[in-house]
Structure 1
Amino acid sequence: MSRRARQLAEDRALRDAALALVKDDIAHLRGDLREKGIVARIASSAALGTADIVEEGMELAEKHKPASYGIGAILAMIVGWWALGGGSGARDDEDDYAWDEID
């Protein structure tokens, strides 16, 4: 067998082995998708991400308690202002401005 023919046979064997691995991976992924759908995977990933963010926020609040108290107070003031109608936008469209008056 010539050197070129032997190299061609080795290359084909490597190609066939790689193709078999790819087909096996695809079959494994299809089985996984049948077991647990894409939407369920996305939802579980989102839930894990949210849990991590909440956990890090709690740790940060524990480290910096005075700052977290201040942030909480500011949030309470904003919610109170909003609840009392601070941003209701119930103003007249025809506000009386000095520069609008022509006497």
Structure 2
Amino acid sequence: MYTYGPVPSWRYGRSFGVDVTSPPKKCTYNCVYCQLGFTKEHVTSPESIIDSLPPTNDIVNEVSLTIERLDIETIDVITFSGTGEPTLNLDIDKILFEIKSRVAVFQ
């Protein structure tokens, strides 16, 4: 499961979350304030975890189906996060483009 919410955000309103890394936590840091806790295994490069990342099509399809079910009007923003650092997913640009092309609503 790569999606969660929408959850209330004091900055953005109703935020629909997309996890582009999936468990277990994958991160290059060990921030004391991280809500995911201690980083047990530090990632040194995105290439080192490429095989453990979820398939781009699976993420995009789940987002599309979930947003259809929820109704786009119940979502203020889509937040791309991760079980760790989301930019470790080297396909994040493709994921963003595909989701934007399927569900973007401009005012």
Larger Rg: 1
Scaled by the length of structure 1, the TM-score of the pair is: 0.22
Query: Could you say which structure has the greater relative contact order, defined with CA pairs below 8 angstroms and 6 or more residues apart?
Result: 2
Which has the larger share of helix? 1
Which has the larger share of strand? 2
Scaled by the length of structure 2, the TM-score of the pair is: 0.22
